[in-house]
Structure 1
Amino acid sequence: MTDSTAGRVALVTGGSGGIGRAVVERLAADGYAVAVHHAGNAARAEEIRDQVTAAGGRAITVGGDVADEEAMARAFDATEEAFGGIDVVVNTAGIMLLSPVATLDLADLDRMHRTNIRGAFVVSQLAANRLRPGGAIVNFSTSVTRTQFPAYAAYAASKAAVEGMTLILARELRGKDITVNAVAPGPTATPLFLADKSEEQVGRIAAMNPAERLGTPEEIAGTVAFLAGPGRWVNGQVLFANGGLA
């Protein structure tokens, strides 16, 4: 904990997931009170909450579909009721469904659009209206917007939309003392990334960056912690955390 983080409150969407969990753990260790959001896996969110509180931190769980503005308004309400306000919103919630464009099931496109684009918009809209001065909004993109890996077109398109929204919102919040940035991880060792990939595929992707390994959720969480706290002069940016991949 530092003087800059003491008393601050963070809401982390997708906080029961791989990167989301690492973000919760890092912010809690930095002294934030944290609302751990889940979209259905309440037991895992409660496990993380209990882990934080057992270590002397403050945490609650909140649930809801990120694309449902009423459900997310209730999540914001619960966080404010528990901790008195919100300073940081980290929007890690997202889904990744891979397919070449030619054979993509359009239902998968719609699912990603709802969660990755509408969900990010709903959460950012609420945050823009409810964060305290000195706050930070951290959205999530992907390094695939640069690397252009085959089969990632629909996912990359959804995250490119998040980048555009993030950069514009930063400028719209002029005078409110709220920063808005996006983190664009490279390949990171999470269940979302590793799903349905062979060991050979994972090794090939890991070798693409100069460090010749996958990133870790904790490394991405460190980037988020910088933007949420000391990185006040970074605003309206997409920060690529990918070990030099692109």
Structure 2
Amino acid sequence: MAFAGKTVLVAGGAKNLGGLISRAFAEQGANVVVHYNSASSEAAADETVAAVEAAGASALKASGDLTVPANVAALFAAAKERFGGVDVAVNTVGKVLRKPIAETTEEEYDSMAAINAKAAYFFIKEAGKALNDNGKIVSIVTALLGAFTDGYSTYAGGKAPVEHYTRAAAKEFAPRGISVNNVAPGPMDTPFFYGQETPERVAFHKSQALGNQLTKIEDIVPLVVFLSGAGWWITGQTIFANGGYTTR
């Protein structure tokens, strides 16, 4: 198995895309650190941990609000204490908001910036400090980085800095062989998406991609796994995986 003996930390690893990533790495032999944000997702984390262990891998469940840098550091410290090191760090944490700029509150802006940009920055920072040599860092961003649209200013705007963090980190961590990349899915078939859109807009988004469908989490997981292993030569990049929904 490709990741036998390796340890993979998945931020937001309890459910949806993160949960499937956790399971996929377990099936490849990796130990998995399943991070979840709060009590509301603990049951999903328990299910994912059980699935990881059923695949024959070891799991560590860990919680924490990653907009607090100390919690990010504690997450990596717990992973190192349990497994002796971390080889792959995947950040799926994010928050979606569709709202006109004129109606966006300061509280909403601060929350979106903290979850989508600040947490990503300190995740990359702590991963760069904690990862074993030749480790891999993958952040989930959004295909909206290549789009010209309304309504998603704080979401696309919050994810946009992650590209700059990634490029800088790819250079700074290169002496230790660590690659750093982003994956930018199109609108994904998850509860996060449907809560922001009307049925008419969902139909439009589907019409813009191959097969008249939204991006599925199953479409993204193989790419994350590839970038974490055989795709090690790719670094500092944002890979748009959206069925032709958009590009630059």
User: Fold match, TM over 0.5?
Assistant: yes
2:29–2:56: 8 Å Cα contact kept in structure 1? no
Which of 16, 19, 22 aligns to 1:18? It is 16
Corresponding residue for 2:36?
38
Contact 1:85/1:132 (8 A) holds in 2: yes
Structure 1 unaligned residues grouped into runs of 5+: none
SS of 1:160's equivalent? Answer: helix
**Residue segments in structure 2 that go unaligned for 5+ positions in a row:** none
Corresponding residue for 2:151? Answer: 151
Question: What amino acid sits opposite 1:37 in the alignment?
Answer: H
* Secondary structure class of the residue paired with 2:94: coil
* Kept after mapping to 2: 8 A contact 1:140/1:162: no
1:207-245 alpha-carbon deviations (Å, 9 max, x no partner)? 112332111111111111011111011011000010111
Show the 5 A alignment for 1:41-80: 41-80=41-80
CA-to-aligned-CA distance 1:120-157 (integer Å, 9 cap, x gap): 01111100111001100101211001112310111111
DSSP 3-state at the match of 1:202:
helix
Alpha-carbon offset, residue 196 of structure 1:
4.1
Corresponding position of 1:216: 216
How far does residue 58 in structure 1 lie from its aligned partner after superposition?
A: 1.6
Instruction: State the match for 2:114 in structure 1.
Output: 114
Residue matched to 1:84: 84
Whole-Å Cα distance in 2 between the matches of residues 118 and 198 of structure 1? 29
Give the equivalent residue in structure 2 for 1:181: 181
Task: Establish whether residue 96 from structure 1 lines up as the match of residue 96 from structure 2.
Answer: yes
CA RMSD of aligned residues (A): 1.3
- Provide the residue aligned with 2:129 in structure 1: 129
Deviations 1:64-108 (A, max 9, x none): 111212222221122112212100100101111121112212211
1:138 aligns with 2:138: yes
1:232 aligns with 2:232: yes
Detail structure 1 runs of 4+ shifted over 3 Å in the superposition: none
For these two proteins, the number of residue pairs brought into alignment is 244
The AA in structure 2 aligned to 1:81 is E
User: In 2, Cα distance between the equivalents of 1:153 and 1:199?
Assistant: 21
Task: Give identity over the alignment, percent.
Answer: 36
> In 2, distance between residues paired with 1:98 and 1:196?
6
CA distance in 1, matches of 2:218, 2:209: 18
Cα distance in 2 between the residues matched to 1:156 and 1:202: 18
Partners of 2:180 and 2:165 in 1: how far apart? 10
